[in-house]
Amino acid sequence: MSYNFKGGEYLNLQGQTLASLPGIDLEKLTEIARIMRGFIFTTVEAARSGHPGGPSAKVEQFLGMVLGGAMAFDALDPKNTGRDRVIWSAGHCSPGLYAGLAVIYEALRKAGINFDGKKLQAVLPEDLARFRHPDGPQGHIENHNPLTDFGTGPSGHGLSVAGGMAAVHKSCGLKTKFWVFMGDAESEEGMSYEARNLINVIGLDNVIVSLDYNHYGIDGDINEVISSPYINHWLGMGWNVIEIDGHNLLECIYAYKKAAEGFANGSPTVVIAHTIKGKYYGAKENTADSHGSPAKFDEYVAIMKNLGFEVPGVEKEILKDIAVVQNALTPELGSYIAERLVVTKNNLKSEEENIGIMKTTLAGRELVNPTSIKCPVELPAEFVYEPGTKVATRKATQAWFEWLMKQTAFFYAGTGDLSKSILTDKAEKVFGIMSRTNPLGRGVRFGIAEQNMAMWSAGLTVDRLPGGFAPVSIFSSYAVFTSMMTNCVRLTLINNHLDPTHKGFFIMLAAHDGPETGEDGPTHQGMYWMSIFTAYPGIKVYKPLDANETIAMLFYALEKGEPIVLSVSRPDTLVLDRSVGSSKPADANNGAYVFYETKESKENSKKIVLAVSGSIPMANTMKIVPDLEAQGLSVKVLAVTSPQLFEELRKNNPAKAQEIFADEERAITIPIHNGWKGFLYPFILPADYQERGISIDTYLKSGTSDEVYALAGMMSEDIKNKILNIIK
């Protein structure tokens, strides 16, 4: 049997005789490369910590990309929305970025160009002395500096971010390029395969990867992990491949120029740059040890002198060494770099031009920031659910996502091959699934690739399009599987923290939550997932009790613009009858509210507070309230939809929080949750949970919803008996 190989285009520039290019002075660029390495090595020495190996291998790639003429970038307006984006998937290569920025901004100073370095978040040579300290450039790449558009560090995540952002720009008709610095070892990470696959499937020819093929990770040769020909991992997946000597500046410049032009096949391009890890870093050159292991001081001095820098060689006086490198960057070199930066600036389209492109491309769609959309005064009929009926909360999200998709051109939706189950399908169908034939789609068919989905979807929200438009996403899997996506969410939250002006909003849907997914057994019963997300700053878990609350909480989250994890149920659950109290669906936005309270208490009756989270637990609890009252108890039922929101209410409006749930009530509260007991810790005294908590602390078995709740001891009679036993 024979097989037909089908891949992308292939171009090998290694060793080719290449004609000189206008404005490209190889002698000057070679000297700039020497200076950049000098800054890299002094940066690592300043901290006695960091990664010299990868950055020193990427010097020519950086200079060829930034100064070669293919990139669109304005050094004096580095966050211009028309710029090309740069993602350092190899986030540990921060000394390379900072050294490159020090070269650029020192050159502009030497050329007599005035700028506010702090305002630009530029890095200057003197800043390198504080590398890896709180007041200096940080250990891994952050998103607020020039020439970096997402803070990275964990291996393999950056390509997914680039894919998400590139998909947004392409789906808006923009010609933005997304330049990705990757290391070869990080491509071992499974999500990088997921990203490579989807980027090519969609046809994101605006993605250009510069892959540093130096053969070494931290532990050793990557061939010990990847035994098949490395090029197959890209060419065989449909990517265009350009191979170059990564230390040949002219080959780098030609490669990036061709990659930016594209191959007319709609596919992304990877430039595989054959390099030497730890180039010029003494005995560690071309070894895995150069990855994150600084040379000893005497070796460092020898390295610098061999590189042509006569440093004083005095420990802990790194500023003097930096000054030696700084002085090598002459005004003549500064002027040359400034001239090359004019070329990159001239590649930019104006804000007005880009907005015009978007208006033409997206004609008929609403160019509105999603987070500016308000809840209608009169809710659409599809958002109103009759009390006493049974409606799954996932059906409420289905209606809301479809509605939001029609209100804005900047909303994206996708799931991990579960759209027909989780019910994001209607939203995805409004503009269709994004593909080569439908580049303006807003649905994303991720397949079973939860990590890539989370990093792609969350990461894209920190970008800002021309006009200041901020894309928003919803991505989803079953609640029990959300733990696979936690690091991707965490990384995006860190980016939100680092640059609040680019704070992204996304909805992570934790579907089929709780033991309700009974028949599938413990592998699909999502009862403990929220333990991670309640620990992360910058995101909150919302757990509405019914369909009406789901709508109210979605609008509230959109208005706040803070990322959420939204718990929704699979089975149809009771739409709460609020005639038994004075609550309304919007009360869910307080995080907790009084759903029911005994109106007439007998003298000397014992009061208890039942803090309930989860649709079925609430329904089961309300059934036994009359029985509890018949036994002389005064019962207050507190509906808990988000402990984090309630803690926020305590801080911002303590009087209202006390009115809902007074501090002294903690001692008489019994928390009831169909999952992790710690979710309701804020509503009880810490020492009391083991004695008072009604929750699920073990894995269950397959069965109908009622059977599984019976196994968990959370049917109405079970709850009643446990309450009576607790208060004895």
- C-alpha closest to that of 322 among 531, 113, 123: 123
Q: Is 450 exposed, middle or buried (0-12, 13-18, 19+ CB in 10 A)?
A: buried
- C-alpha closest to that of 491 among 424, 563, 411, 541: 563
pLDDT single digits (tens) 214-267: 998 888 888 888 888 899 999 999 999 999 999 999 999 999 999 999 999 999
- Band (pLDDT 50/70/90 cuts) for residue 638 is very high
The three-class DSSP label of residue 485 is helix
Q: Is 229 exposed, middle or buried (0-12, 13-18, 19+ CB in 10 A)?
A: exposed
- Band (pLDDT 50/70/90 cuts) for residue 579 is confident
What are the tokens at 674?
């169909």
Mean pLDDT of 277-283: 92
- Band (pLDDT 50/70/90 cuts) for residue 415 is very high
pTM: 0.95
- In this predicted structure, what is the pLDDT of residue 695? 93
What are the tokens at 38?
């000098």
Mean pLDDT of 159-186: 97
Q: How many CB atoms lie within 10 A of CB 251?
A: 24
SS (H, E, C) 284-297: HCCCHHHCCCCCCH
- Band (pLDDT 50/70/90 cuts) for residue 600 is confident
The three-class DSSP label of residue 429 is helix
| Least reliable range by pLDDT among 285-299, 394-408, 700-714 | 285-299
What are the tokens at 90?
């190899």
- State the chain's mean pLDDT as an integer: 94
What are the angstrom distances between the C-alpha of 377 and each of 52, 374, 555, 582, 632? 58, 9, 12, 20, 43
Query: What's the topology of domain 10-14+23-353?
Result: Rossmann fold (3.40.50)
Residue 517 or 542, more confident: 542
Q: Is 308 exposed, middle or buried (0-12, 13-18, 19+ CB in 10 A)?
A: middle
The three-class DSSP label of residue 211 is strand
Name the residue type at position 389: T
Q: Assess whether pLDDT exceeds 50 at residue 1.
A: no
Backbone angles phi, psi at 252, to 5 degrees: -60, -50
Q: Is 335 exposed, middle or buried (0-12, 13-18, 19+ CB in 10 A)?
A: middle
- Band (pLDDT 50/70/90 cuts) for residue 687 is low
Q: Assess whether pLDDT exceeds 80 at residue 3.
A: no
Question: Strands 506-511 and 472-478: what pairing?
Answer: parallel
Q: Which residues contact 517 (CB under 8 A, 6 or more apart)?
A: 478, 480, 524, 525, 526, 570
- In this predicted structure, what is the pLDDT of residue 581? 76
Q: Assess whether pLDDT exceeds 90 at residue 170.
A: yes
Q: Report DSSP state, residue 641.
A: S
Name the residue type at position 143: N
What are the tokens at 401?
């996502």
- Residues 618, 712: Cα–Cα separation, whole Å: 15
Backbone angles phi, psi at 469, to 5 degrees: -70, 135
As a whole-number percent, the residues of the chain with pLDDT over 70 amount to 99
pLDDT single digits (tens) 430-481: 999 999 999 999 999 999 999 999 999 999 999 999 999 999 999 999 999 9
The three-class DSSP label of residue 273 is strand
Alpha carbon 144 to its chain's center: 15
pLDDT single digits (tens) 545-568: 999 999 999 999 999 999 999 999
Q: Assess whether pLDDT exceeds 90 at residue 685.
A: no
As a whole-number percent, the residues of the chain with pLDDT over 90 amount to 86
Q: Assess whether pLDDT exceeds 70 at residue 690.
A: no
Asked if the domains 370-567 and 578-726 are classified in one and the same CATH topology, the answer is: yes
The three-class DSSP label of residue 388 is coil
- In this predicted structure, what is the pLDDT of residue 4? 62
Q: Which residues contact 22 (CB under 8 A, 6 or more apart)?
A: none
Mean pLDDT of 492-518: 93
Domains of the chain by residue range: 10-14+23-353, 370-567, 578-726
Q: What is the per-residue DSSP string for 594-618? A: EEEE-SSPPTTPEEEEEEEESHHHH
Residue 603 or 288, more confident: 288
Please answer whether residues 146 and 139 qualify as being in contact, where contact means their C-beta atoms are separated by less than 8 angstroms: no
What are the angstrom distances between the C-alpha of 368 and each of 118, 166, 673? 32, 20, 39
Q: What is the per-residue DSSP string for 709-723? A: HHHTT-SHHHHHHHH
SS (H, E, C) 440-452: CCCEEECCCCHHH
Q: Which residues contact 139 (CB under 8 A, 6 or more apart)?
A: 47, 49, 50, 94, 131, 132, 153
Architecture per CATH, domain 370-567, reads as 3-Layer(aba) Sandwich (3.40)
- Residues 382, 325: Cα–Cα separation, whole Å: 66
Scan for tokens 């802990």, then name that residue. 316
The domain 578-726: what is its CATH number? 3.40.50.920
Scan for tokens 């994101």, then name that residue. 204
Mean pLDDT of 314-332: 95
pLDDT single digits (tens) 31-90: 999 999 999 999 999 999 889 889 999 999 999 999 999 999 999 999 999 999 999 999
What are the angstrom distances between the C-alpha of 160 and each of 17, 117, 156, 442, 707? 35, 30, 8, 17, 41
The winner for highest mean pLDDT among 268-272, 310-314, 513-517 is 268-272
- In this predicted structure, what is the pLDDT of residue 155? 87
> Residue 666: how many CA atoms within 13 Å on its side-chain side?
14
Q: Is 77 exposed, middle or buried (0-12, 13-18, 19+ CB in 10 A)?
A: middle
- Band (pLDDT 50/70/90 cuts) for residue 2 is low
The three-class DSSP label of residue 232 is helix
Mean pLDDT of 646-650: 97
- C-alpha closest to that of 296 among 281, 275, 309, 276: 281
- Band (pLDDT 50/70/90 cuts) for residue 717 is very high
Q: Report DSSP state, residue 484.
A: G
